[in-house]
Structure 1
């Protein structure tokens, strides 16, 4: 299994997770304060979307690392791989 070795991707994923963590804390506070269920549900949906987006980003990162490992670091191939992965991320993002 591949490790998350790309610093830019790792930072992006960590930032997304920290943002979702903050949203979850906000939801906990809303529950403790007795806020309306509809407001809480709305925030929960936002966190789910943020986590789904992070999962897609992690999946694309994994694919990129695996393809680079298998195909090598040929700049021409890298451009094609980057284009395909960008399209994949857009398509996977629409699945949610």
Structure 2
């Protein structure tokens, strides 16, 4: 299995994970400070959504990378693939 080689995608995914990490630290602080459970649960839900979104983004990046490599696509076909995978990402983000 390959790793993410597209630097833009890798940066995007890392930034998303860093935001989720910040949200998790905020949740820890909320628990330490005795915040209400409903507020904490709301923040946990937000982190879960952020991680789910990041997972979908990483999966689509992997699919694009692998398909481009294995199918040896022309630039025009790569644009078509990018459009299809954008639709796939949109559809997967609605699952749940």
TM-score by length of 1: 0.97
* Structure 2: runs of 5+ lacking an equivalent: none
TM-score by length of 2: 0.97
1:80 aligns with 2:80: yes
In the aligned structure 2, how far is the partner of 1:3 from the partner of 1:15?
A: 17
2:21: which partner in 1? 21
Task: Give the superposition deviation at 1:73.
Answer: 3.8
Cα offsets for 1:31-90 (capped at 9, x unmatched): 000100000000000000000000000000000011110111401211110111000000
1:7: which partner in 2? 7
Q: How many residues align?
A: 96
Q: Give the superposed CA RMSD.
A: 0.7
1:70 aligns with 2:70: yes
User: SS state of the match for residue 4, structure 1?
Assistant: coil
Moved over 4 A (4+): none
2:56: which partner in 1? 56
1:40 aligns with 2:53: no
In the aligned structure 2, how far is the partner of 1:76 from the partner of 1:19?
A: 34
* Structure 1: runs of 5+ lacking an equivalent: none
